[in-house]
Chains A and B, each alone.
Chain A
Amino acid sequence: MTQPPVAEKPDRPPSSEEAPVASERTSAWRLVLANKVTLGGLVVLVVVVLAAIFGRWLAPYGINDVDVTNALAPPSAAHWFGTDELGRDVFSRVLVSARVSILVGLVSVSFALVAGVVVGLLAGFFGGKLDAIVMRCADVLFAFPVLLLALAIVAVLGPGLPTAMLAIGIVYTPIFARVVRASTLGVREEPFVKASVSIGASSGLILRRHILPNITGPIIVQTSLSLAFAILSEAALSFLGLGVQPPDPSWGRMLFDARGFLGTAWWMSVFPGLAIFLTVLAFNLVGDGLRDVLDPRHRTAIEARRVK
């Protein structure tokens, strides 16, 4: 995330020495792909993203093609995921909804990530008054339940997808700020930071080059978790009518629409739920895989295991 991927170099026959030669290092991407679990997550993500981009054209039915005579039909060859209470094709709606869910996840988490990392880094590194003020503000944000705070923000700014994304982003910012601040506090005391001060590095350089790369692990984990929760938050907001406006579908909306039919039409809740579950899982798996590969120490261990 913060580190550029290591450039691919042509393979050379490995020298006999243990000297770590650049060209002997496996590329980061290849290591990510070598991990079957991460690869699985990546495949799911690619599928979801493709659905998000091309879903509109791939969907066999229009998302709002009402066919009341065929309402609540179970999965069949014509309707793979069945139909809902208005006879709309669940498969098409799940496919098209990927766009909203991915968009909300990425936009709101990117916002929270950037704001939270900047705030957390500065607070953790400089400490003192800045830290006290910023983190007390974060505490205030924390004091509200996530959904309530998001509701309040949406209520002020008016409902709709953009405000929902902004609200979710704001709500998750203090979580990132806290994680980043805590990690920064730990890394700040490491001798290599003092060593860097002792060769005349400025605070900005130390933050960018020494602290940030050392806290990517927790940031990546927090990002993948937050992506998952952001998708769920969007679902909740949409359910309350403050997110995606009907008749546009989103996984969360579909799930909540299905709540009345849990006993009679399981497919209405299972398929959107499955979509959320798989996407969230995939984000987490890919996050884990990335974290392992981006840390040089872990990476050497992985490379060593591959050689065996």
Chain B
Amino acid sequence: MSANTVIDVQDLRVRVGAARIVNDVSFKVERGQTLGIVGESGSGKSMTVLAATGLIDAPSAKVSGTSMLDGQNLIGLRRSKLEKIYGERIGFIFQDPATSLNPVLTLERQLTEGPEAHLGITRRAARRRALDLLEAVGIPDPEPRLAAYPHQLSGGMKQRVMIAVALACDPALLIADEPTTALDVTTQAQIISLVRSLQERLGMGVVWISHDLGVISGVAEEVSVLYGGQVVEHTAITDIFNNPLHPYTQGLLRARPYLGGAQEELVTIPGSPPDPKNLPKGCVFYDRCPVRLDSRCETELPPLTDVGDGHLVRSFCATSGGENVRNAWEGTRV
């Protein structure tokens, strides 16, 4: 673990009853780096980061593995210790800004909560800080806004405030759980560039979860593709678009609608994601895979293999530079 590593997650597993939600996920985030985590709904994206930060509140969820931050394993850490880490070392932005702010408190109360708890500063200093924060996240004329309530702001403004709350104590790690999903495209772009510029200034590591490859391409340097609670492909962001190897990643990229082009119909990946209570014995993508190169695909879980330059793929089919997979996908077009 290098000195620049902000969080190092190894072999993370989450079980809820018989459901295997997250299966041996590992990732690492360096200072100033952004890791994108993409996947469909139900692929275990949110559960992965919630479990990695100890924020899972379901008592029935069993989490194992390690998640090292500042030399402490967050998994199984006592709540009182986690409280010191949240806000101060890790900041979170959630999906829905409309409900992530307390509707009956003014912005000032919500912005000063973290600093007052962690930095032990006075109300007055916290207020000054809140003003600076609002300015930093691009809210014009912040002074009167401090007295405003969340319902008086637009969705994009609320998400800016959420970011300000998350960054109030200069965390080393920012977890962004689909922060732009509830926003329109232009606001999305503003939020992305805001987080990027703040990241450059503050040098924090960011884990950005999204189901939108377009968003991920705008924020991340590296990306992990999650399917069935497993990392099926992990590589640099450019590689994902130029050289996707896993059949699922390729299927995802094919399924992106393009603006302007005369498309007869939207491309989908036939079938549905696997049931976490009943994951396939072999490759998790087996049921929907157009390739199925090998008999091992059905019976044996493919290992996450490095095919060069840190490009990791969990598939037996990812041979010959992914060409065979591309052809197989083309063959599925009717």
Contacts of B266-290 to chain A: CB distance below 8 A: none
Given contacts A195-B100, A199-B114, contact A300 B85 (CB under 8 A): no
- Asked if A68 is at the interface of the complex by the 8 Å CB criterion, the answer is no
Among candidates B90, B113, B144, residue contacting A209 with C-beta atoms closer than 8 Å = B113
Name, among A194, A200, A213, the residue most crowded by chain B CB atoms within 10 Å (CB to CB): A200
The docked-state distance in angstroms from the alpha carbon of A199 to that of B74 is 15
- Asked if B151 is at the interface of the complex by the 8 Å CB criterion, the answer is yes
- Chain A residues within an 8 Å CB radius of B77: none
CB A13 to nearest CB in B, in angstroms, measures: 14
Closest 4 CB pairs of A and B: A199-B87, A200-B87, A22-B147, A198-B92
Q: Of B7-15, B160-168, B312-320, which stretch is located at the interface?
A: B160-168
CB B6 to nearest CB in A, in angstroms, measures: 16
- Which residue of chain B lies nearest to A3 when distances are taken between CB atoms in the complex? B104
CB B95 to nearest CB in A, in angstroms, measures: 8
CB B203 to nearest CB in A, in angstroms, measures: 20
- Which residue of chain A lies nearest to B152 when distances are taken between CB atoms in the complex? A20
- Asked if B88 is at the interface of the complex by the 8 Å CB criterion, the answer is yes
Given contacts A210-B102, A213-B104, A297-B103, contact A196 B145 (CB under 8 A): no
Contacts of B147-189 to chain A: CB distance below 8 A: 147-149, 151-152, 162, 165-166, 168-169
The docked-state distance in angstroms from the alpha carbon of A191 to that of B3 is 34
CB distance B148 to A197 under 8 Å? no
Using CB atoms and an 8 Å cutoff, list the residues of chain B in contact with chain A: 55, 57, 80, 82-88, 90-92, 94, 96, 99-105, 109, 113-114, 117-118, 141, 144-149, 151-152, 162, 165-166, 168-169
CB distance A200 to B151 under 8 Å? no
Name, among B90, B109, B144, B165, the residue most crowded by chain A CB atoms within 10 Å (CB to CB): B144
Using CB atoms and an 8 Å cutoff, list the residues of chain A in contact with chain B: 3, 17, 19-22, 25, 190-192, 194-202, 205, 209-210, 213-214, 216, 295-297, 300
Among candidates A3, A19, A194, residue contacting B55 with C-beta atoms closer than 8 Å = A194
Pull 6 A–B residue pairs with CB atoms less than 8 Å apart, ordered by A.
Answer: A17-B141, A19-B145, A198-B166, A209-B113, A295-B104, A296-B104
- Chain A residues within an 8 Å CB radius of B99: 190-192
Given contacts A19-B141, A19-B144, A209-B105, contact A199 B91 (CB under 8 A): yes
Among candidates B96, B109, B147, B165, residue contacting A199 with C-beta atoms closer than 8 Å = B165
- Chain B residues within an 8 Å CB radius of A209: 102, 105, 109, 113
Name, among B85, B88, B102, the residue most crowded by chain A CB atoms within 10 Å (CB to CB): B102
- Which residue of chain B lies nearest to A216 when distances are taken between CB atoms in the complex? B104
